Structure 1
Amino acid sequence: MIRHIVMWRVAGESLEQRRQARERVKEAFEALRGRIPGLQQIEVGIDLSAVDYACDVVLVADFESQQALDDYTTHPEHLRVRQELGALRITRHQVDYQRR
């Protein structure tokens, strides 16, 4: 199993705009549940700490294999979400690792 973790900072000039952007990212990625072959689990969390170095949103997803993760990157539903949210996300960090 491969665990895929992605963290983003989102755009917004006001606290309300950033709150809305965080919610949009969360809803869009959670809507992928059950639509991507090999995606076993997906969880999206919004940061509560509000520290200046924290990311705004984190995605934790488990894939049955490296091939399933590779396929996810080009799956039409994933590409649609990435396109839809492109302007909302200003930084992105990622870690993928083998789970035992």
Structure 2
Amino acid sequence: MIKHIALWRLNLANGQSKEAAAAIINAAMQAQLGKIPGLLESEAGLNFKSSEKAFDVAIYTVFEDRAALDAYHHHPVHHETRAKVDALVAASCFVDYEC
């Protein structure tokens, strides 16, 4: 099993609130479930703490194996998700690990 976790700082240049942006991101993440083989869990959450060091949103996805994670990045549904959320992300970091 592979867990993929990403932390995002939001780009709110278009005047959206953090809550509205996070809702768009979470809906897009949830919409991937059942449409991408090997994707077992997919969610996003808004950080309720504020700090210079804090990121705004965390995404959490779980995959059957490394091959499923690799396929996810090329899947058309994931590209649809990216089309919805990339403009909302100013900076990111991520980690993938096996458990």
Structure 2 length as normaliser, TM-score? 0.89
TM-aligned CA deviation for residue 8 of structure 1: 0.7
CA distance in 2, matches of 1:97, 1:9: 22
TM-aligned CA deviation for residue 97 of structure 1: 0.5
Q: Which residue of structure 1 aligns with residue 78 of structure 2?
A: 78
Q: Which residue of structure 1 aligns with residue 94 of structure 2?
A: 94
Q: Which ranges of structure 2 fall in alignment gaps of 5 or more residues? A: none
Identical-residue share of aligned pairs (%): 34
Q: Which residue of structure 1 aligns with residue 58 of structure 2?
A: 58
Q: Which residue of structure 2 aligns with residue 48 of structure 1?
A: 48
Q: Secondary structure at the match of 1:25?
A: helix
**CA deviation string 1:4-55 (max 9, x = no partner):** 1111111115985332112211111111111110011223211011222211
CA distance in 2, matches of 1:62, 1:16: 29
Superposition misfits of 4+ residues, deviation over 2 angstroms: 13-19
**Is the alpha carbon distance of 1:14 and 1:74 closer, same or farther for their aligned partners in structure 2, counting shifts above 3 Å?**
closer
Aligned residues: 99
CA distance in 1, matches of 2:81, 2:14: 23
Q: Secondary structure at the match of 1:51?
A: coil
TM-aligned CA deviation for residue 96 of structure 1: 0.2
Structure 1 length as normaliser, TM-score? 0.88
Q: Is the 8 A contact 1:6 1:92 kept in 2?
A: yes
Q: CA RMSD in A?
A: 1.7
Q: Which residue of structure 1 aligns with residue 21 of structure 2?
A: 21
* Mean Cα deviation higher: 21-30 or 5-14: 5-14
CA distance in 2, matches of 1:59, 1:15: 22
